[in-house]
Amino acid sequence: MNRDKLIFERGASGRRCVAFPAAVDSGTAIPETMRRDVPPNLPEVSELELVRHYTALSQMNFSIDTHFYPLGSCTMKYNPRVHEKAARIPQIAGLHPLSENAQPALQILWEMEQVLKAVSGMDGFTFQPTAGAQGEFVGISLIAAYHRAQGNAKKVVLIPDSAHGTNPATAAICGYAVQAIKSTERGTVDVEDLKAHLTEEVAGLMLTNPNTFGVFEDEIEDIAALVHDAGGLLYYDGANLNAFLGQCRPGDMGFDVVHINLHKTFTTPHGGGGPGSGPVGVKQALLPFLPLPVVLKEGNAFKLDFDRPESIGKVSSFYGNFGMVIRALVYAKMLGAEGMRRTSEMAVLNANYIAAKLDPHYDRPKNAQPMHEMVFSASRQKKANGITATDIAKRLIDYGVHPPTIYFPLPNVAPETMLIEPTETESLEQVDDFVEAMIQIAKEAEENPDLLKEAPHATPVRRLDEATAARKPILRFKTNNP
Amino acid sequence: MNYTPHTERDIQHMLNAIGVASTDELFAPVPESLRLNALNLPPGISEMEATAFVHSLTDRETSLSFLGGGAYDHFSPSVVDAIISRGEFFTAYTPYQPEVSQGTLRAIFEFQSMICELTNMEVANASMYDGASALAEAVLMAVRLNNHTRVLLPRSLHPFYRRVVATYVRGIDLELVDIPWSDSGTLDIAILKRELTDNTAAVVVQNPNFLGVLESLDEIGDLVNNTRTAFIACVNPISLSAIRPPGDFGADIVIGDGQPLGLPLSYGGPYVGFFASRDAHVRKMPGRICGETTDVDGKRGFVLTLQTREQHIRRERATSNICTNQTLCATAATVYLSSIGPQGFREVGELNWHQSHRALQALTALDGVRQKFSGPIFNEFVLEIDRKASDVLTALQHRGIEAGIDLGRFYPTLENCILTCVTEKRTDADIDRLIDAWRAL
Ligand SMILES: Cc1ncc(COP(=O)(O)O)c(C=O)c1O
């Protein structure tokens, strides 16, 4: 089979896969002015052609199931199969969001809320946000609503320079000006710089902890006090919560609002880029503003409460990505308290082992002890042989490893960054293979730099011309036949 | 139960390599005052027990459902779930490394192409979270296009979508203007005309609208085209099998929820928003976009492109904050459309049309049941009865039937009205069962 074709380029006119029973005329016809007479150009393939096509596509992917995937900040841990089965039970998968028979679904949402409260130290959660970024949007909207209710129109959100791009983008959508706070040599928030920015216009500070260098913000209690004294609130981007499970809690650190990525810490599958789930938790004072509806337990029954006059409103069509919540609940129940603690311990152990093994071979821009992930840099290799983080990433592919996250944190914060997060589900043998590959690549960088610059060598396609893709965009398949 | 593979020997070996005595030492950066003594959760359980727990919740009869209102019970061919259950698809991350993500990228490219085909638009993105957030992002994009300050929203827009739009525009100065429906259930064109001022950023139309009624997109297009106001259409993609797409009428942005394209109801999500527009507006669009290019050997390949719109590059000046979207759901919709093809798509459309009209005829033949709005419908309609809708719905529920949505929940003036949906999955026997149960009340 020619693997290069799109589904539109397979099959033949008139060929088909799924058919439906014939409709029996109801006697009512579609009004002439509304009836579609030109059908969309959809593929015409047999079922076998279809299955082969998408199987071939799937084989062009790296995935957790097939490859080590140490993509920093993304927490690519194993996705247990029991979660998939649970979400596909007909009474779950077939449940309509406006059904009056939704007790099981409401119980699942309520139980997961109790888990997240225990893990995070917050007082209440909404599951409406469908991903981390939408969680941020809800979180900052909650902070805005809180300040409005206090009669304070704040104007600024503070964000460390190492933060993820969704943080400033979110603050901007919510109508705030963004000011960046510098990182110290150790990779943590520069408290002096923070102080200099803390005016009464500041609505809050958005922080990730461990931060995007994988370093614990050990001055967090002071930071929280400073922000609160200035009348601001503290937002926790929970992308890195995996390091904290059962060890410590953002709620105890002084955070007022948190989002948690169920598709990271609670291992709901990433799906090639979603669906995710980004539940948001808040402290007592912000509970009235949570999106509506919220789930209430009354006796043994659960209900959706829409009567919330101070709510910021809704952010998703119904109640968020429920199918992800049930997966996460099964995970949480199976782990239990000690399983969670073990999870964070092994995640941090794997990361520190990699850091120790790679320290002689690569620069680590921020030398504080990492938690569950760490940032290495290709700066040494760049100076010596012109090798970039991209080159190392692409060469790793030849070794059968998905590259780490590269150029995050951004080049203006640290050069040629490679953010490595092994997660707890990887074995010592796998981690050793990765370390060995990285050491080999460091050698190759000196001895045969072209090998890196031309990598990857054995993938379905090699390095792609991204400049032309952006300059002359081809964004859809167009048939030649009208 | 947990998923860590470490043996005691592994752990010791790793601790030695790091040069610490215990894993606890690795948490030394966390101040003592913040260390958690005990996580207040029950002990872990086995897979067998977890499975039993889920089954204990769900061990109940499902009812015969005529619910729609933004989430629809359509048939999904077996291949759809089979394909998206492949680990190579569902355990991959966002395709930032194109050389090892061609599978996901090609699926996205096919999705974008199919959305353009369905809507008759020029360009589509890789997906949004769901229909409601896609609409909110469309409104924000309209404001980017023309900097105008008010948006016309039909009262017949899905009430949840309206609330999502209102939440998303809080950060900018934007007036949301309510456009009521006429007796036929369609947008009141006279009021729309009156409200369509020079500073209107967008006119939003839902088709079919929340009352199930099909709008006259041609009339609305005639009003809005050739102004600087954006024409935003929110559509049910399955209706595009039978009904002309908004692209035929000059829509600037077409969005909707792809759930009807083979995705399970799953109590409201995960679904998939789609977002289509005109080539001229592509650099103002939110979300990821996949494009075709070539590799160093001249071979065809696909990448995420036009990324300078996005948060990871543009940060606070990005067109949206979206990062993770709903790729696996988009993949499911793509497989769905490939599996039914143009003929199957037409058949689904005809089945929805005729089954719903047959049900409508049978229901309105019952005593005291009338069709509320005279406008044409696709697969949903509003029934008006002589008492509160909730009374009848509850009684039918006791007979194992969810006959529709109580519109009084959303519109106080419609407390005697029921929104009933009939998809291709509701057979004549199902309709007969509903009629018999209703008659027996
Ligand atoms: C630190 C951080 N913040 C925010 C996000 C955004 O989360 P999502 O992709 O779920 O929207 C991510 C992940 O991509 C992240 O790593």
Q: Which two tokens stand for residue A54?
A: 């998408």
CA of A123 to the centre of ligand 1 (A): 23
Cα gap A160→A180, rounded to integer Å? 5
Asked whether the beta carbons of residue A132 and residue B323 sit closer than 8 angstroms, the reply is yes
Query: Is B324 a pocket residue for ligand 1 (Cβ < 6 Å)?
Result: yes
Q: Work out the burial of residue A445: count CB atoms within 10 Å of its CB; fewer than 13 is exposed, 13-18 middle, 19 or more buried.
A: buried
Give the CATH architecture of domain B79-336: 3-Layer(aba) Sandwich (3.40)
Look up the CATH number of domain A343-468: 3.90.1150.10
Q: Please tell me what DSSP assigns to residue A420.
A: E
pLDDT at B343: 97
Cα gap B387→B401, rounded to integer Å? 19
Query: Is A415 a pocket residue for ligand 1 (Cβ < 6 Å)?
Result: no
Closest among A321, A266, A293 to B267, alpha carbons compared = A321
CA dihedral A380, A381, A385, A387 (to 10 degrees): -130
CA dihedral A443, A449, A452, A457 (to 10 degrees): -110
Asked whether the beta carbons of residue B109 and residue A6 sit closer than 8 angstroms, the reply is yes
| Domain residue ranges in chain B | 64-74+341-439, 79-336
CA of B208 to the centre of ligand 1 (A): 35
Look up the CATH number of domain A81-334: 3.40.640.10
Name the 3-class secondary structure at A287: helix
A-chain residues near B164 (CB < 8 A)? 313-317
The gap between the terminal CA atoms of chain A, to the nearest Å, is 27
Name the 3-class secondary structure at A49: helix
B-chain residues near A132 (CB < 8 A)? 323-324
Taking CA–CA distances from B291, the nearest residue in chain A reads A475
B304 CA to chain A: closest CA distance, Å? 8
Contact A348, A371 (CB under 8 A): yes
Name the residue of A164, A173, A240 whose CB sits within 8 Å of the most ligand 1 atoms, as the mutation to test its pocket. Answer: A164
pLDDT at A480: 60
CA of B171 to the centre of ligand 1 (A): 21
In this structure, what are the phi and psi dihedrals at residue A459, rounded to the nearest 5 degrees?
Answer: -85, 165
Atom of ligand 1 nearest to the CA of A208: 1
Q: B63 has which bridge partners?
A: none
Q: Which two tokens stand for residue A291?
A: 């999106």
Of A7, A85, A428, the CB nearest to B14: A428
Query: Is A379 a pocket residue for ligand 1 (Cβ < 6 Å)?
Result: no
pLDDT tens, N- to C-terminus, chain A (482 residues): 788 999 999 999 999 999 999 999 999 999 999 999 999 999 999 999 999 999 999 999 999 999 999 999 999 999 999 999 999 999 999 999 999 999 999 999 999 999 999 999 999 999 999 999 999 999 999 999 999 999 988 999 999 999 999 999 999 999 999 999 999 998 999 999 999 999 999 999 999 999 999 999 999 999 999 999 999 999 999 999 999 999 999 999 999 999 999 999 999 999 999 999 999 999 999 999 999 999 999 999 999 999 999 999 999 999 999 999 999 999 999 999 999 999 999 999 999 999 999 999 999 999 899 999 999 999 999 999 999 999 999 999 999 999 999 999 999 999 999 999 999 999 999 999 999 999 999 999 999 999 999 999 999 999 999 999 999 999 999 876 44
pLDDT at B58: 87
Count how many pairs of residues, chain A against chain B, have C-beta atoms within 8 Å: 675
A20 CA to chain B: closest CA distance, Å? 6
Per residue, the 3-state secondary structure of B228-240, as one string, reads: CCEEEEEECHHHH
Strands A202-208 and A156-160, by their bridges, are parallel
Residue nearest to atom 7 of ligand 1 (CA): A132
Name the residue of A69, A73, A209, A316 whose CB sits within 8 Å of the most ligand 1 atoms, as the mutation to test its pocket. Answer: A73
Whether CATH 3.90.1150.10 fits B64-74+341-439: yes
Closest among B413, B130, B118, B400 to A97, alpha carbons compared = B130
In this structure, what are the phi and psi dihedrals at residue A292, rounded to the nearest 5 degrees?
Answer: -105, 155
Query: What percent of chain B is predicted at pLDDT more than 90?
Result: 98
Asked whether the beta carbons of residue B243 and residue A272 sit closer than 8 angstroms, the reply is no
pTM above 0.80, yes or no: yes
Atom of ligand 1 nearest to the CA of A163: 1
Q: Please tell me what DSSP assigns to residue A28.
A: -
Q: Is the pLDDT at B55 greater than 70, yes or no?
A: yes
pLDDT at B300: 97
Contact A84, A74 (CB under 8 A): no
Fold match between domain B64-74+341-439 and domain B79-336:
no
Query: Is A254 a pocket residue for ligand 1 (Cβ < 6 Å)?
Result: no
Cα gap A321→B329, rounded to integer Å? 11
Q: Which long-range contacts (CB under 8 A, 24 or more apart) does A45-49 make?
A: A45/A7, A45/A10, A45/A11, A45/A15, A45/A16, A45/A17, A45/B338, A45/B341, A46/A11, A46/A15, A46/A16, A46/A17, A47/A17, A47/A18, A47/B79, A47/B339, A49/A10, A49/A11, A49/A15, A49/A17
Name the residue of B311, B320, B323 whose CB sits within 8 Å of the most ligand 1 atoms, as the mutation to test its pocket. Answer: B323
Interface mutation vs chain B, best among A82, A317, A344, A349, most B CBs within 10 Å: A317
Q: Which two tokens stand for residue B412?
A: 């106080």
| Domain residue ranges in chain A | 1-60, 81-334, 343-468
Per residue, the 3-state secondary structure of chain B, as one string, reads: CCCCCCCHHHHHHHHHHHCCCCHHHHCCCCCHHHCCCCCCCCECCCHHHHHHHHHHHHCCCCCEECCCCCCCCCCCCHHHHHHHCCHHHHCCCCCCCHHHEHHHHHHHHHHHHHHHHHHCCCEECCCECCHHHHHHHHHHHHHHHHCCCEEEEECCCCHHHHHHHHHHCCCCCCEEEEECECCCCCECHHHHHHHCCCCEEEEEEEECCCCCECCCHHHHHHHHCCCCCEEEEEECHHHHHCECCHHHHCCCEEEEECCCCCCCCHHHCCCCEEEEECHHHHHHCCCCEEEEEEECCCCEEEEEECHHHCHHHHHHHCCCCCCCCCHHHHHHHHHHHHHHHHHHHHHHHHHHHHHHHHHHHHHHCCCCCEECCCCCECCEEEEECCCCHHHHHHHHHHCCEECCEEHHHCCHHHCCEEEEECCCCCCHHHHHHHHHHHHCC
Asked whether the beta carbons of residue A322 and residue B132 sit closer than 8 angstroms, the reply is no
B429: CB partners within 8 A, 6+ apart: none
Asked whether the beta carbons of residue A50 and residue B313 sit closer than 8 angstroms, the reply is no
pLDDT-derived band of residue B134, with 50, 70 and 90 as boundaries?
very high
- Strands of A319-477, DSSP E: 374-377, 405-406, 417-420
* B283 shares contact with chain A (CB less than 8 Å): no
Closest among A415, A422, A408, A366 to A164, alpha carbons compared = A408
A205: CB partners within 8 A, 6+ apart: A157, A158, A159, A181, A194, A223, A227, A232, A234, A235
Q: Which two tokens stand for residue B100?
A: 């090892």
